[in-house]
Amino acid sequence: MPRMKKWLLAVGSFPFFLPAQSSFYLVYFTAKPDSFLWKPEQCLSSFTLQQRLQLGIPIDIYDVPIPSAWIDSLSHYGKIWGVSRWLNAALIEVPAGGRLPTGGYIHCVVPFVRVRPAIGVSSLSSFRGAKVSPKVTVPVNALQLDQLKLSSLHDLGYTGQGIRVAILDAGFPYMDQIPAFQRVFREGRYLGGYDFVAGDSTVFGDNSHGTQVASVIVGYDDSVGYIGGAPGVSVLLARTENALSESRIEEWNWARAAEWVDSIGVHIIQSSLGYSTFDDPAENYTYPDMNGHTAITTQAALLAARKGILVVTSAGNEGNTSWRYITAPADADSVLAVGAIGSSGQLAPFSSRGPTTDGRIKPDVVALGWGTYVIGLSGQPQQASGTSFSAPLITSLAACLWQAFPTASAQEIRQAILASADRYASPDTLYGYGLPNGERALVRLTALHRPFPTADLRLYPNPAAERLFLFLPDTTLGYYTLRIYDAEGRAVFQCPYRGHTELAISLSGWRPGIYFAEVRQEATGKTLTKAFIRL
């Protein structure tokens, strides 16, 4: 992360006392103890565990919580604004004249942001020329569905039923009261919510942006002629954005929300937020930072993808500004960054351009974001524009396809959507791979034969130098004993192992040569053995 590296400072190189105003710091910890790999049920929900088992995604050190004693010790230095197990860090506000945290468990301390009340340009998409439509007897939003062939998927019964979508946004006022959302609550498909800005569970307030984004996916109201793109999905709601200001603390909220929804269990994260400039110019990103690994939201999006979640995010509304380019986390690999087109397929002038600074195609795809129909706070359909509203259409497409193929992986769904798009053979940095076609994506997934994860013992990298990772994709989460033998048959390492977890083994001090790893299942006595080379 080049931009952040110039801020990384060892704790000892800071002055012992700080200037006369409170300041925010990210405290990065040393390697977490891996004892919780033995108890994944205490870290992840049964839904998340089942997803990991089904798709062969290992439980690893990113799933392990940070020790509570480490967190408790930070409270002596200032206010803790949250903890991220994925980033292995905590955000702390140190008061004026205070001391920076110290301790053997701290890797480094990074200056973060100075939060102050401000009214600036928010990362939310703007609403362009919104107008209220009269009541109608046919869907007013048919065009945005038909462009993606979503209506065809609905006709086949694919409305996203059984698929979990987490929506990260700036608030969801009146969602619990607007008629278009009542089926979600009545059918028990509202899974919960949390406000990471205010630190409570009240999400049905604040900015209307989130309500409108949600309506594109899950809204359904016959009386006003509106059908969302995936009206059968279940939803989790997270407020991560303060619409009145723009600071990197909102990226921190985004990262914490992503790991929160992962621990509960979701298929898709829908995010119509983007980050490039902030109220404090010192925090601004530059275009070279759109490289797929610098921004905090980008790092979190990559980790979500690693955990088997499909992240769908707006490309940004900077196409006719001096910035022009995509905004984080749209630069992340393995996500779907969505640009905006109009009713006739023309690129919206505000839709952010690519590529990433390392040359990857962005945006990935496009959908209607120039005159998209949403449900307003009045409960009536209205039009709004921005990549905020093209992204939830792609989320809807992914949810419907995933219902059709519930054992597919996130990346299979993503690739099917890309391959179905009308510019797949010749992508560019305006439209990406183009406008997806749900019918073609369905055909592609039907033809795809994905092998089910086998029970092979995996050792990587092999050959290994300083560290070896071991993973046995055992969907029963069985208990094992791991022994490692050298070429002469002498046992050099032994420890317990829990199936389907990723175990990191330090090879420091081991002699170069051939070794054999053996896992023995306690319940059956069955053993699996695999060789590896220590360089």
CB 335 within 8 A of CB 292: no
Q: Do 494 and 467 fall into the same domain?
A: yes
When mean pLDDT is compared across 27-36, 121-130, 318-327, 520-529, the lowest value belongs to: 121-130
Flag whether pLDDT at 126 surpasses 80.
no
Flag whether pLDDT at 115 surpasses 50.
no
- pLDDT average, residue stretch 188-197: 97
Q: Do 399 and 324 fall into the same domain?
A: yes
Flag whether pLDDT at 84 surpasses 60.
yes
- pLDDT average, residue stretch 218-229: 96
296-306 vs 249-264: helix axis angle to the nearest 10?
Answer: 10
- pLDDT average, residue stretch 183-211: 96
Flag whether pLDDT at 39 surpasses 50.
yes
Q: Do 151 and 103 fall into the same domain?
A: no
Percent of the chain with pLDDT over 90: 83
Q: Do 194 and 49 fall into the same domain?
A: no
DSSP E strands: which ranges in 302-441?
310-314, 336-341, 365-368, 370-375, 381-385
Show which of 413, 447, 481 is a domain's final residue. Answer: 447
Flag whether pLDDT at 256 surpasses 80.
yes
Predicted pLDDT at 122: 54
Q: What is the pLDDT of residues 370-405, one digit of tens each?
A: 999 999 999 999 999 999 999 999 999 999 999 999
Q: Do 250 and 168 fall into the same domain?
A: yes
Show which of 447, 469, 494 is a domain's final residue. Answer: 447
- pLDDT average, residue stretch 305-332: 97
Percent of the chain with pLDDT over 70: 90
387-404 vs 209-218: helix axis angle to the nearest 10?
Answer: 30
Quickly state the pLDDT bin for 38 (edges 50, 70, 90): confident
- In 3D, which of 217, 218, 256 has the Cα closest to residue 88? 256
When mean pLDDT is compared across 17-21, 105-109, 351-355, the lowest value belongs to: 17-21
What phi and psi, each to the nearest 5 degrees, are found at residue 107?
-80, -50
- 11: domain range? 2-111
Rounded CA separation 515/461 (Å): 13
| Cβ count within 10 A of residue 15 | 8
- pLDDT average, residue stretch 468-475: 94
Quickly state the pLDDT bin for 113 (edges 50, 70, 90): low
Predicted pLDDT at 278: 93
DSSP E strands: which ranges in 240-380?
268-271, 310-314, 336-341, 365-368, 370-375
Give the residue, 134 or 73, on which the prediction is more confident: 73
Quickly state the pLDDT bin for 139 (edges 50, 70, 90): confident
Q: How far is CA 439 from the centre of its chain?
A: 26
Overall number of domains in the chain: 3
Q: Do 253 and 339 fall into the same domain?
A: yes
Q: Do 225 and 89 fall into the same domain?
A: no
Sheet (strand 336-341) strand order? 190-195, 234-239, 164-169, 268-271, 310-314, 336-341, 365-368
Rounded CA separation 334/312 (Å): 10
The residues pairing with 505 across neighbouring beta strands, listed in sequence order, are 468
Predicted pLDDT at 36: 78
Question: Per the domain annotation, does 118 fall within a domain?
Answer: no
CB 168 within 8 A of CB 309: no
Rounded CA separation 449/422 (Å): 24
Flag whether pLDDT at 106 surpasses 70.
yes
Flag whether pLDDT at 6 surpasses 70.
no
Predicted pLDDT at 37: 84
3-state DSSP assignment of residue 285: coil
Question: Per the domain annotation, does 315 fall within a domain?
Answer: yes
Question: Per the domain annotation, does 135 fall within a domain?
Answer: no
Rounded CA separation 8/521 (Å): 44
What pTM does this model have?
A: 0.88
Predicted pLDDT at 451: 52
For residue 489, give the CATH number of its domain: 2.60.40.3080
Q: What is the pLDDT of residues 403-454, one digit of tens each?
A: 999 999 999 999 999 999 999 999 999 999 999 999 999 999 987 755 545 5
Give the residue, 160 or 12, on which the prediction is more confident: 160
Quickly state the pLDDT bin for 20 (edges 50, 70, 90): low
Show which of 423, 447, 471 is a domain's final residue. Answer: 447
Give the residue, 495 or 124, on which the prediction is more confident: 495
| Residues whose CB falls within 8 Å of the CB of residue 72, separated by 6 or more in sequence, listed in order | none
Predicted pLDDT at 393: 98
Average pLDDT along the chain: 90
Predicted pLDDT at 454: 57
- pLDDT average, residue stretch 224-250: 96
Q: Do 465 and 371 fall into the same domain?
A: no
Q: Do 224 and 331 fall into the same domain?
A: yes
- pLDDT average, residue stretch 23-50: 90
Quickly state the pLDDT bin for 16 (edges 50, 70, 90): very low
Long-range pairs for 520-527: beta carbons < 8 A, 24 or more residues apart: 520/480, 520/481, 520/483, 521/478, 521/479, 521/480, 522/478, 522/479, 522/480, 522/481, 523/478, 523/479
